[in-house]
Amino acid sequence: MSLGKKIRRVAVERLQGVFDYEITFPDGADTIIIIAPNGYGKTALLSLIKDCLSLNLRRTASHTFQTLEINFQDGTTWKFDRTLDEERVRYEPSLRHKTVLDPDWVRFAELQEQHSWVSMKRYDASGEEVIEDPPHLENLNHRMVLRALERVRFLSPESSSMVRDLREGVSLPISEALVKYYHEIAADPRVREMLTAVAPSAVWSGVEPIECVFIETQRLLYSKPTSQDGEKGASQEEILRQVASLSKLLHKNYSDYAATSQTLDRSFPNRLIARARDGISPNPDDLRKSLIGIEKQRAALTEAGILFEQADNIISTDDDLLPKVVDALQIYVEDSQEKLRTYDEIFPKISVFRELMSSKLRPKKLSIGRDFGASVYRDGISLKLEGLSSGEKHEFIMLFKLIFETPSESLVLIDEPEISLHVVWQLEFMSDLRRIQSANPFQSIIATHSPQIFQGFKHLLVDLADQV
């Protein structure tokens, strides 16, 4: 995604064929809370925003809406228009001139869903439309090009290398058809729609999708894809996937730490000799402070379950002894600081996760470790994570996704965070969210029915019912 490309405003027309909504982030705020009665399209709006920002125009076309406009804080705008492909409908003569009372009207409604397409326009900070370059079809593989040509009415794919030119009644190699009709093909919005689902970089040169994380109401289970086509397998407990993911993350960080340690250890003798030769003498008081700081940092990392090195505390040195080892100790300080920097990214996240989850699990205890990711204990007995209550699992899963699986500077869409949560936890949700955003900055749009969620945060509230 484009880091720092924050959203200022979202406006939709004819969502679900009915609703026109506008939501704007308050000045200085990174969160919007939307409320409305059931049936007002809150979930549909979140899903539409995600698909538009992902630049997947094919999936966006499956939503029912007319336009969606997204204004960014840098003054630029993305506008998405959904249109019924009249040419496709024209090939269904039995569906012309139908009335609502005609049984075939249902088929016509289905055809609208199946044969709509979405175009995207971009506007710069001055409001001028950005003219997009045609997609570079010649850089795509043949299978992808064939799928694109299926959208072009006057070309009909015959094989993996040939197409039929219906205008002139002749067969052409794909490469020749691309040369002959390149601009007409590349400018076809239906071709762009298909390509954005499989090769967005070919359509939007220099434009990256905005990273979105959609936390839906069903979050206790996940289905692991079983094929390259994305077919889903059997559902599994999401919490078990997350702790396995955390274990892998901790192992990776430790591998980075070990690799840094090996590199520094190999060069230690030469650096020690060079320091003695150059006659560089660090300040003893600064050196002592640095040594104390390193010990505190190691202790914090060990307490968090991140670092498992067993090392003796550094013995104190008197004023007579210190000058004899000052060079070695200075290198030790510098090396230790560089090694521990490998944990600079994960340590704040682990700390926030332990802090928030520990407060929710009392009197149970949360433990973090490289070999198991996370585990929960009560009275010294390990508990099965899948045996936690629904509320505990919902809290664990949501906090984990926000802290560890949400890219920095992305957009998070949360649908009904209150599910299965005790009223006290609902009251704490927004404070917890802000605590997380301090460690992992992102924008968020929250849809909720719970007054406890937005209590104390009504300045972030948008009631969609007021816009109907």
Does residue 183 lie within any of the structural domains? yes
Report residue 271's pLDDT band, with 50, 70 and 90 as the boundaries: confident
Angle at 243 between CA 240 and CA 247, to 5 degrees: 140
Percent of the chain past pLDDT 70, that is, above it, reads: 82
What is the Cα–Cα distance from 257 to 346, expressed in whole angstroms? 12
Task: Let me know whether 189 and 242 are in one domain.
Answer: no
Task: Let me know whether 250 and 386 are in one domain.
Answer: yes
Task: Let me know whether 160 and 126 are in one domain.
Answer: no
Between 119 and 219, residue with greater pLDDT: 219
Confidence (pLDDT) at 103: 46
Q: Are strands 212-215 and 411-415 parallel, antiparallel or unpaired?
A: parallel
Task: Let me know whether 348 and 319 are in one domain.
Answer: yes
Q: What is the DSSP letter of 380?
A: T
Task: Let me know whether 107 and 167 are in one domain.
Answer: no
> By the 8 A CB rule, do 359 and 340 touch?
no
CA distances from 201 to 62, 124, 168, 464 (A): 22, 19, 32, 35
Between 396 and 209, residue with greater pLDDT: 396
Task: Let me know whether 115 and 140 are in one domain.
Answer: no
- Tokens 């020690």, located at residue: 272
DSSP string, 243-259: HHHHHHHHHHHHHHHHH
Task: Let me know whether 167 and 90 are in one domain.
Answer: no
Q: Which of 153, 177, 201 is the last residue of a domain?
A: 201
Tens of pLDDT, residue by residue over 340-360, are: 999 999 999 999 999 999 999
Does residue 313 lie within any of the structural domains? yes
> By the 8 A CB rule, do 367 and 305 touch?
yes
Q: Which of 391, 418, 439 is the last residue of a domain?
A: 391
Task: Let me know whether 361 and 258 are in one domain.
Answer: yes
Average pLDDT over residues 65-88: 87
Task: Let me know whether 358 and 270 are in one domain.
Answer: yes
Tens of pLDDT, residue by residue over 193-251, are: 677 766 666 777 778 889 999 999 999 998 776 555 455 667 889 999 999 999 999 99
Which parts of 370-423 are beta strand (E)?
373-378, 381-383, 411-415
Task: Let me know whether 194 and 170 are in one domain.
Answer: yes
Task: Let me know whether 386 and 420 are in one domain.
Answer: no
> By the 8 A CB rule, do 40 and 465 touch?
yes
Does residue 400 lie within any of the structural domains? no
Does residue 217 lie within any of the structural domains? no
Residue 335 has pLDDT above 50, yes or no: yes
pTM of the model: 0.80
Confidence (pLDDT) at 446: 98
Q: Which domain holds residue 12?
A: 1-132+204-211+407-468
> By the 8 A CB rule, do 431 and 25 touch?
no
> By the 8 A CB rule, do 132 and 123 touch?
no
Mapped onto helix, strand or coil, the DSSP state of residue 220 is coil
Burial 401-410, CB ≥16 within 10 A → b, else e: bbbbebeebb
Does residue 176 lie within any of the structural domains? yes
CATH code, domain with 460: 3.40.50
Does residue 184 lie within any of the structural domains? yes
Task: Let me know whether 380 and 350 are in one domain.
Answer: yes
Does residue 220 lie within any of the structural domains? no
Backbone phi, psi, residue 333, to 5°: -60, -50
DSSP string, 131-167: PPPPP-GGGS-HHHHHHHHTT-TTEEE-SSSEEEETT
Q: What is the DSSP letter of 344?
A: T
Does residue 463 lie within any of the structural domains? yes
Number of domains forming the structure of the chain? 3
pLDDT averaged over the chain?
Answer: 84
Confidence (pLDDT) at 29: 94
